[in-house]
Structure 1
Amino acid sequence: MTGRPMSRRGLLEAAVLAGPAAALAGCSADTGPVWRLRLATGAPGGPYNAFGKALAAEAAQAAPRLHITPVSTSASVDNLRRLGDGSADLGLAMADAAEDAARGRAPFSRPAALTALARVYVNYTHLVVPAYGPVRSVGDLAGRSVATGAAGSGGQVLAGRLLQVSKLTAQRAVRQRQLGLADSVRALRTGTVDALIWTGGVPTPALSDLARELPLRFLPLDEQAATLRDTYGPVYTAVTLPAGAYGLTAPVGTIGVGNYLLARSGVPQPAVREVLRVVFDRWRALLREVTAGARLEPRFAVATGDVPLHPGAVAYYRSVYG
């Protein structure tokens, strides 16, 4: 990756805080404007869907002027396209897919006018096989069937890159099955696929349930994490599936990638500030069903790489944290 952007501190200092006006859904002389925002999430039962529902519920309790409607989608890539065409106001996306959209890299045909509100938590990549099966390393996947995530999801993008850097393309190609998490789990349980690749919080409940039915092996991805970082930049990090999760007796190194809460640039600054107030006031409830033990801190939240912060987010962080 070439030419990293200026530091996040520089972005905070340089951003112009007066953004374009946007139409409000409703207004009252007594209560002020009411903001109605569509939040593109993910498939029912997945972590984005859970986060979106939790954010809508917490906003309803803590911010009467803020009405968030979660919309089920195919996740990251779908969400980014919806933000681009204006059919969503807010959206969740994995950092790698969001940066591809911001730069106009495939699968996006042109740079998207995206803004970030926060980096909210980190996804952990799970490469899962039956414990007593023949696959004991990433290389053993050659020629086998692998569930790589739903079409239109950021997980599918990461899985494709993981297979590419593992040289599991061309003559050694795996047979990719674009399946969502529930279908991937079902396929692994029945032997329809030899492995599944999933990126999400730890523990992911569907995988915890599967581990109680079927002994599993989680393949280490330390080498691939380093290669992805060298190839695509710091959007990818080395993280560890902890001992105890899924019955693991020892930690397993894997690939981490952040998740961004995003907004189209036309969302009014006061609405963005109100969204972030709810996010930071209620982060424990928002992350409870997504990833155990996660925290949301400002120095972590502003690290959104190539995706610039929305001017309302800049104003929020400067007013609250200086």
Structure 2
Amino acid sequence: MVTLGSSRRSTLAGLLALLMITACDTGTTQERRVRIATGSPTAVYHAIGTALAGVIERELPGTDAEVLVTAASKENQDMVSRGAAEIGFTQADVLVTGGQPAPSLVALARVYDDLLHLVVRADGPIRDLADLRGRKVSVGARGSGTTVTVDRLLSVADMSTAMYRRQLSLDDSIRALRDREIDAFFFSGGLPVTGIKQLGDDIGIRVVDLSRWAGDLRRDYSDVYVVRDVPTSAYSVPPVATIAVPNLLVAAESMPEDLAYELTRLLMERREVLASAHPAAERLDPRTAISTLPVPLHPGAARYYRSVKP
């Protein structure tokens, strides 16, 4: 039997320790992390983001996915830009500053369109944007995409100082309208917004038509604004039209190409799982997902879309 001398054993032990340290330094023993910046717990972003996190952890070995509750679009964009999140949902208009897209951000997909809701009580007198004059109105949470769109809407409508503004989250806005602490609230989200639907079932609501202002928003701010219908099926209210803006899933341009490819693949190929969390995900489609202006596609995402192109 051959035995090792103490000096040789020490040498081998040292080499083994060195290899373990090197592996740790290169990250081979560490899990890959994907933090998803979403929104409030009752928002569409959070529902789809939570479902996506589950898909990532099941199908990407060695990847830990975490869902972050945020104020939504603006905060999500900021978190991805500074490396506090790997991906985040955001409205396309929030990505435009001074006519230019936000630096260092790229897109994995256009997910769906966010519709701007102006929600009032069905038994109240508000039927038009002009009826908000002198009223108490929530314009969205600080750091949300809702506030960006609403500020622009009120500017083109010459109503920026016409109301008593409050900056409340979706959940707080719903509670405040139910308790008659405010007269109306704005919220931008995909159809249907669960909290708004529940509020309608509880007290009865009206969704105010805002479509007449879309042209002014395109003229003064960005051509990302379009008109979309809110059908009766969304909230059991008469159908109206309103302002809509594309919603994107964004990442830092420094994201590794293979990770961007895999995240985009899961987003598209597990659409049914995401749609079971929220119907807005049913609109995911590679043919429209590539329309991510004002930001470009990540090269890894572009590679995935090329791979499935008919």
Contact 1:146 1:174 in 2 (8 A): yes
Letter in 2 for 1:72: V
Is contact 1:125-1:200 (8 Å) kept?
A: yes
Contact residue 112 and residue 281 of structure 2 kept, 8 A: no
- SS at 1:300's partner residue? helix
Taking the aligned partners of 1:51 and 1:247, their CA distance within structure 2 comes to 23
* Cα shift readout 1:148-200 (whole Å, capped 9, x = no counterpart): 11100101111111222221124xx2111100111001111111111111111
Q: Are 1:149 and 2:140 an aligned pair?
A: yes
| Separation (CA, whole Å) in 2 of partners of 1:275 and 1:199 | 25
Report the alpha carbon displacement of residue 43 of structure 1 after superposing the two structures with TM: 2.2
Match of 2:17 in 1: none
1:275-309 Cα offsets, whole Å, 9 max, x none, are 01111111122233334583211121011112011
The one of 202, 210, 214 equivalent to 1:213 is 202
Kindly provide the amino acid, as one letter, of the partner of residue 125 in structure 2.
P
Matched, 1:48 2:45: yes
User: Counterpart amino acid of 1:178?
Assistant: Q
1:251 aligns with 2:239: yes
What letter is aligned with 1:74? A
User: Residue in 2 aligned with 1:272?
Assistant: 260
The structural deviation recorded for 1:234 is 2.7
Answering whether residue 83 of structure 2 is matched by residue 92 of structure 1, we say no
What SS does the corresponding residue of 1:288 show, helix, strand or coil?
Answer: helix
Q: Is the 8 A contact 1:24 1:34 kept in 2?
A: no
For residues 25 and 128 of structure 2, the distance between their equivalents in structure 1, rounded to whole angstroms, comes to 54
Aligned to 1:119: 110
Partner residue in 1 for 2:284: 296
8 Å contact kept, 1:201–1:290:
no
> What is the alpha-carbon distance in structure 2 between the residues aligned to residue 101 and residue 294 of structure 1?
33
- TM-score with structure 2 setting the length: 0.86
TM-score, length basis structure 1: 0.83
Change (3 A) 1:300 1:24: farther
In our comparison, the structure showing a higher alpha carbon Rg is: 2
Distance in 1, Cα, partners of 2:169 & 2:255: 30
Q: Indicate if the aligned counterparts of 1:56 and 1:68 stay in contact, CA closer than 8 A.
A: yes
Unaligned 5+ runs, structure 1: 1-22, 105-110
Alpha-carbon contact 2:271-2:282 (below 8 Å) kept: no
Q: Deviations over 1:54-91 (max 9, x none)?
A: 11101122222433222222211111111221222111
**Where in structure 1 do 4 or more consecutive aligned residues deviate above 6 Å?**
none
1:140 lines up with 2:128 in the alignment: no
State how 1:174-189 maps to structure 2 within 5 Å: 174-189=163-178
The CA deviation at 1:102 is 8.5
Tell me, in whole angstroms, the C-alpha distance in 1 between the residues paired with 2:209 and 2:290.
29
Q: CA 1:265–1:140 in structure 2 vs 1: closer, same or farther (change >3 Å)? A: same
Any idea what SS the aligned residue of 1:50 has? Answer: helix
Q: The residue matched to 1:158 in structure 2 has which SS?
A: helix
Taking the aligned partners of 2:25 and 2:98, their CA distance within structure 1 comes to 27
User: Is the 8 Å Cα contact of residues 112 and 247 (structure 2) preserved in structure 1?
Assistant: yes
Aligned twin of 1:27: 28
CA distance in 2: counterparts of 1:302 and 1:81, whole angstroms: 22
2:4 matched to which residue of 1? none
Code of the aligned partner of 2:107: A
Work out the CA distance in 1 between the residues paired with 2:295 and 2:302: 13
Distance 1:284 1:196 in 2: 31
- Residue 5 of structure 1 is matched in structure 2 by none
After superposition, the CA RMSD in angstroms is: 2.2
Aligned equivalents of 1:75, 1:90: Cα separation in 2:
12
* Aligned counterpart for 1:103 among listed residues 81, 100, 105: 100
Q: 3-state DSSP class of the match of 1:256?
A: strand
Q: How far apart are 1:229 and its partner, in Å?
A: 2.3
Match of 1:168 in 2: 159
Residue 79 (structure 1) aligned to one of 72, 76, 81: 76
Q: CA deviation at 1:126?
A: 1.1
- Partners of 1:267 and 1:293 lie apart in 2 by 24
Instruction: Output the CA distance in 2 between the equivalents of 1:275 and 1:117.
Output: 8
How many pairs are equivalent?
287
